[in-house]
Amino acid sequence: MSDVAVNRAEEIVFSALKFQSSAERAAFWDRSCSGDAALRAAVEKIWAEYADGECFLNECQPALSPGAEAVRLLADSTDFTDDISAEFDSDKIVGSNIGPYKLLQKIGEGGCGTVYMAEQEQPVRRRVALKVIKLGMDTKNVIARFEAERQALALMDHPNIARVVEAGATETGRPYFVMELVRGIKVTTYCDEHRLNVRQRLELFIQLCGAIQHAHQKGIVHRDIKPSNILVTMLDGVPVPKVIDFGIAKATGGERLTDNTLFTAYEQFVGTPAYMSPEQAQMSGMDVDTRSDIYSLGVLLYELLTGKTPFDQSELLQSGLDEMRRTLLEREPHRPSTRLDALRADELTQTTLHRRVETLKLKPLLKGDLDWIVMMALEKDRSRRYQTANGFAMDIQRYLNNEPVFARPPSRLYRFQKLVRRNQTTFAAIAAVSVTLIAGFGTSTWLFFREREARQETERARRNEVQLRTEADARAKIAQAALLISRNQLAEADQLVDKIQIPVTEPSLEAAGVFHTLGNWNVTQGRWQVAADRFMQLEQADQVDKSDLTAVGTRDLLGAGPALIVAGDLKRYRQFVQVTLHRFADTSDPVAAEEVMKNSLILPADTMTLQELEPLVKLLQSSGAQNDPAAEKNDYRIPWQTLALSLYEYRCGNFTNAIIWGQKCLAYSIPTPPRVVMAHIVLAMAYSKLNQPENARLELAAGREPIENKLPDGPEKIVDLGRASTGIWHDWVIAYFLLHEAEKLVKYSSFS
């Protein structure tokens, strides 16, 4: 019989199912087969099969029905997954052995496994913690990954780290880890129960950073820092935090993280999304480094201070996976001090009580430095975070010592860019539509690009490995240097960073701070060439946010130009001028424009440089702030803009304009010393060019004296780095060079 006929027969039987009585069914069959005996026979056969199936299923039913029986079974059942996990869910296993370990007692149960206290008899009798991982893991891979990191793990030796000593498989094939037994309680619980105040919490946290730093130096990233992995034990009455589970997250999560499936590191994810760094949440694979731990430490500090995590764990879980990732990747958390506002009254009371601080005093305590410190650790872009746990700890130490901290509030532009970044999804959607449209036209081109991209990716990965190692080394040096600086050991710090090659230093605010301090220090030491080197390093390190074109970006550049000139390195000075000119050509911040102009015009400039400065000049002229004498009350930097314009006009040969701007500059009531001095000198040069020697001499005299008082031994010897109100060293150095130029000019013209 043909397939068609069988199908036809099936159709007939199926259609007849709705008839309850056999007579009706038979009548329907007869009619449908209309005398085709073969078809009729097929129908009978199919019906027989169907009836048999129906009957068989019903015969099985007593096992299922009445329904109450099934429900009773369900109620009475022990775990049906017994061959995999039931043994571990009950306490039955206690008393039995896993490998050489005898399980004594269950001491904990977490998202990814159960922890037992166990006893080892051979080779030494000792107690250990044994963690049996839940089902669903590829045991072989877990153990292989652990073994791969075992040597590195063995190198860790730190009083605040509980070591993981072994990994193995149970008889039923589940992976387990053996680690140092820590009898302690969760760090957050400890802090609350013992009512540690903010300072005590910070001190405990600094200890913790030390442990993480140690691990990082051995090349181990924890990847799962969270309160339940940090236990506090009492040792001779002193609380000692211990970090547990090192190496486990990598062993149990490693493969998943590099997996292509969207949703991977599942166990980890469900357990602790609140502590997960954006790059972990992104799951782009392999690219998780020590700075991921810095983020998690930041979350921990946040919780220690406010009692809450930056993003609420249950809200994250509730929002669904995609939304959760979006939150972690894009949403800016509230600052700790602001987070307190969102607490319910009773929560706030509880939080402040636990910290032994009056209800209204916690917020002011967190506001400012502590806010910025925490937020710096929580930066989405890891290059903006503290680069090392040490750096993090040191900034907290600086706070505790009432010293200025490295962390600082983000600039307005930077925040604006974040706003754009937050709305990326919209842009991405638009982009996706465009791609679809274009794809229709050029799939092959697209494939070509994709293939090329893949090749480049591989190449990048290979280079990355070397690069990452060098970068990690540079980061470690920076952190050490920062530590030395905090102990005022500047010479040692300087030596340490001397070897760091500029391209290797990744932009980081911490590095910027180090280079800035060391640049200035070398200035006071009269080591101008080295100072110039540091300022150039600073220029690199400062480019955390290359698109930040505000004065926050230029401020760190001010030392470089003068330092290069004093060092006599005019070639590098010209290069530096070009670099900054290009970088800030599109700035819209008048202060940045002014600073770049001043930096570029210390010496007579060529036509090209003057042309390139034009947009900045236009910006200053259009801002018009300098035309308002009252403006300086709002901003002391505005008079500087008139000076920059005066100097620019002079360099361009527009001496009359130079005089107009110079006089405006002098009309301001706040006499910022180097600015006033420079204005006099530029005026002197302009008058000289306009053949007004008397005016020129008067202006020159007005400018000369303060400079000679300030720099009696010339620019090479800077005693005082200065302040904004009295003039910072680099401005005095610029004034000195302008004076030098003017002296020659005025002397020459007076003889002519």
Q: Has 224 been annotated as catalytic?
A: yes
H or E stretch covering 394:
helix 389-400
Indicate which residue of 192, 224, 369, 589 is catalytic: 224
Q: C-beta of 264: minimal distance to another protein in Å?
A: 7
- Tell me how crowded residue 409 is: count the other CB atoms within 10 A of its CB: 14
The alpha carbon torsion through 603, 609, 612, 614 (nearest 10 deg) reads: 50
Tell how far CA 542 is from the center of its chain: 16
Task: Express the helix, strand and coil content of the chain in percent, nearest 5 each.
Answer: 65, 5, 25
Tokens 């070009």 sit on residue: 578
**Nearest distance, CB of residue 47 and another protein, angstroms:** 10
DSSP state of 85: I
Q: What distances in angstroms separate CA 440 from CA 445, 446, 448, one per listed residue? A: 11, 10, 14
Please report how close the Cβ of residue 506 comes to another protein at its closest, in angstroms: 34
Q: Which is nearer to another protein, 142 or 187 (CB)?
A: 142
Q: Are 212 and 173 in contact (CB under 8 A)?
A: no
In the bound complex, what is the minimum distance in angstroms from residue 160's beta carbon to another protein? 31
| Binding residues vs another protein (CB under 8 A) | 10, 13-14, 17, 46, 49-50, 52-54, 56-57, 59-64, 66-68, 70-75, 77, 79-81, 135-137, 261-264, 266-267, 269-270, 314, 317-318, 320-322, 324
Does the bond joining 278 to the residue before it have cis omega, within 30 degrees of 0? no
Whose Cβ is closer to another protein: residue 62's or residue 440's?
62
CA-to-CA dists, residue 89 to 95, 177, 178, 217, 337, angstroms: 14, 17, 19, 38, 42
Closer to another protein by CB, 62 or 123: give it. 62
Distance CA 644, CA 639 (A): 9
103: left (phi > 0), else alpha (psi -120 to 50), else beta? beta
Phi, psi of 120 (to 5 degrees): -105, 135
**Is the Cβ of residue 47 or residue 640 nearer to another protein in the bound state?**
47
Tell me the residue type at 588.
S
Contacts of 441 (CB under 8 A, 6+ apart): none
Closer residue to another protein, CB minimum distance, 11 or 635: 11
239-259 b/e (C-beta count within 10 Å ≥ 16 → b): bbbbbbbbbbbbbbbbbbbee
CB of 378 to another protein, least distance (A): 23
Residue 425 or 458 having the CB closest to another protein: 425
Three-class SS state of 717: coil
> Minimum distance between the CB of residue 134 and another protein, rounded to whole angstroms?
9
Q: In what order do the strands lie in the sheet with 238-243?
A: 185-186, 230-235, 238-243
Q: Which is nearer to another protein, 80 or 427 (by Cβ)?
A: 80
Q: Which is nearer to another protein, 74 or 630 (CB)?
A: 74
* Closest distance to another protein from the beta carbon of 164 (Å): 22
Phi, psi (deg, nearest 5) at residue 169:
-125, 140
Structure tokens at 483: 């530590």
Smallest separation, CB 367 to another protein (Å): 32
| Residues belonging to the active site | 224
